[in-house]
Structure 1
């Protein structure tokens, strides 16, 4: 099955000046021709032109709808690129790693004495 990638670009809004090109229509056609030839040299095929709605901000809280003219191009995705898109995934089951040893409470030496428990301040002991 043939797969394609697409490119959508804004259509030119102005024509291009050139020697011998006088009218607005001819200048606009020249701009389109140059754009399409440049993309064609990169392997893109022209598909269509569309005028699509686009919401824009108007003021602080409002919106307005404008229409944007775009050109749609496509080109075939090479087979090598398709293979790298979704590489084959192999899952190997492994034994779970052994859990890290848990550390318990510290052991006191049998020869050591427990700390003395009592009031921290000597004046409290007199009471």
Structure 2
């Protein structure tokens, strides 16, 4: 069974200018041709075009629905190799024999406390502010 991956891109909204192309339809066709040739060079096959609804915000609480034209492409996904029968796993080392050395006990306390008296808690003293 063939599997595919898909890619959806917005359709061009305006045409491309080029020498000798005068009409809007021809410019739009050139823009679409360029996009499709670029996608085809990357291995994508064109599937279809869809116009999908999109809710957009208007103001603080309002919404409006617009339609976005999207182009759908797909390309085959390469299948992974078929599963092979499981092989015997190598013997695992004995976890008890190779256990790491235990960590030293954790000491709690004022190991990082600054030396000296604790600062006073309360309103600022006016005589200190003048210094």
Quickly name the TM-score band, shorter chain normalised: 0.5 to 0.7
For 2:2, what is the secondary structure of its paired residue?
coil
Q: CA deviation at 1:89?
A: 9.6
Q: Counterparts in 2 of 1:35-50, with a 5 A limit? A: 35-50=35-50
Q: CA deviation at 1:79?
A: 1.8
- Please give the TM-score of this superposition, normalised by the length of structure 1: 0.64
CA–CA distance in structure 2, aligned partners of residues 41 and 50 of structure 1:
22
Which structure has more helix as a fraction of its residues? 1
1:67 maps to 2:59: no
Q: 1:53 to 1:89 in 2, by over 3 A?
A: farther
Q: 1:89 to 1:74 in 2, by over 3 A?
A: farther
Match of 2:9 in 1: 9
Q: Counterparts in 2 of 1:1-127, with a 5 A limit? A: 1-80=1-80
Q: CA RMSD in A?
A: 3.2
CA–CA distance in structure 1, aligned partners of residues 21 and 50 of structure 2:
26
Q: Could you tell me which runs of 5 or more consecutive residues in structure 1 were left unpaired when the two chains were aligned.
A: 99-127
For 1:67, what is the secondary structure of its paired residue?
strand
Q: Could you tell me which runs of 5 or more consecutive residues in structure 2 were left unpaired when the two chains were aligned.
A: 97-131
- Please give the TM-score of this superposition, normalised by the length of structure 2: 0.62
Query: Number of paired residues?
Result: 99
User: Which runs of 4 or more aligned residues in structure 1 lie more than 4 Å from their structure 2 counterparts after TM superposition?
Assistant: none
Q: 1:34 to 1:62 in 2, by over 3 A?
A: same
Whose radius of gyration is greater, 1 or 2? 1
CA–CA distance in structure 1, aligned partners of residues 7 and 63 of structure 2:
27
